[in-house]
């Protein structure tokens, strides 16, 4: 009977050890799945629009489409970046073709839009090159994000300047005019004033 109890204890111990080992393996597998994929290309979020600019552009659907699509490129795999490049370039082109806000039709703003579009086209071309390296794709994505940030920065600058102008209630494009010039009183030295006073007393 004693041998039977001993045998049962050995079986229970072995069973417990196997279950513990199985759980350890499962936990290890879960941890492995949480490891960051080295293939991901991660970038910082670019400059976003200030509240006033957001309010003015909220009805510009084509810009909103680009803004939403750009979110994919802040954390993207090499394959995803190339597969989505054509759609991104099309969205940027559509945005440029539908500029409705007069302030954004200035040459220096359009130039930024066009440069951004050129770089998205370049990324789309990379998708057709089998030998393209991950580093080249990564560099191009960063360039696109920086250019998109520059576009938003320029838009913000326009509305900030407009807000300041409205606050001051002054047309900054026209120089301030003074109707009557300020006439300075000619300076007289102390010695001259003293001599004049002395002559009057005499």
Chain segment 92-148, per-residue pLDDT in tens:
999 999 998 898 999 999 999 999 999 999 999 999 999 999 999 999 999 999 999
Pick from 65, 72, 50: nearest CA to 96: 65
Average pLDDT in the 179-202 region? 49
136/125 Cα distance (integer angstroms): 12
169 Rama class: left (phi>0) / alpha (psi -120 to 50) / beta:
left
In this predicted structure, the answer to whether residue 175 has a pLDDT above a threshold of 80 is no
Report residue 188: phi and psi, to 5°. -120, 135
* pLDDT at residue 55 tops 50: yes
Reported CATH class of domain 40-168 = mainly alpha
Pick 125 or 173 by higher pLDDT: 125
Helices (H), the chain: 2-33, 51-57, 61-70, 78-83, 85-97, 107-126, 134-168, 190-201
Domain residue limits, the chain: 1-35, 40-168
What's the whole-model pTM score?
0.65
Structure tokens at 178: 């003074």
């Amino acid at each position: 009977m004693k041998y039977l109890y001993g045998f049962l204890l050995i079986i229970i111990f072995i069973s417990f050890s196997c279950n513990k080992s199985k759980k350890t393996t499962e936990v290890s597998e879960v941890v492995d799945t949480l490891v960051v994929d080295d293939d991901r290309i991660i970038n910082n979020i670019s400059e976003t629009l200030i509240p006033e600019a957001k309010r003015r552009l909220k009805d510009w659907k084509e810009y909103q489409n680009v803004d939403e699509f750009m979110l994919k490129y802040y954390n993207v795999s090499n394959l995803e970046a190339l597969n989505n490049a054509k759609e991104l370039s099309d969205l940027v082109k559509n945005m440029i073709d539908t500029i409705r806000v007069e302030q954004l039709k200035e040459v220096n703003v359009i130039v930024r839009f066009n440069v951004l579009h050129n770089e998205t086209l370049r990324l789309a071309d990379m998708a057709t090159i089998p030998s393209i390296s991950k580093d080249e794709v990564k560099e191009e994505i960063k360039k696109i994000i920086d250019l998109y940030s520059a576009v938003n920065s320029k838009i913000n600058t326009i509305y900030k300047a407009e807000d300041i102008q409205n606050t001051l209630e002054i047309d900054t494009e026209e120089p301030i005019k003074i109707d009557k010039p300020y006439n300075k009183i000619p300076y007289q030295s102390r010695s001259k004033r003293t001599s004049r006073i002395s002559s009057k007393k005499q």
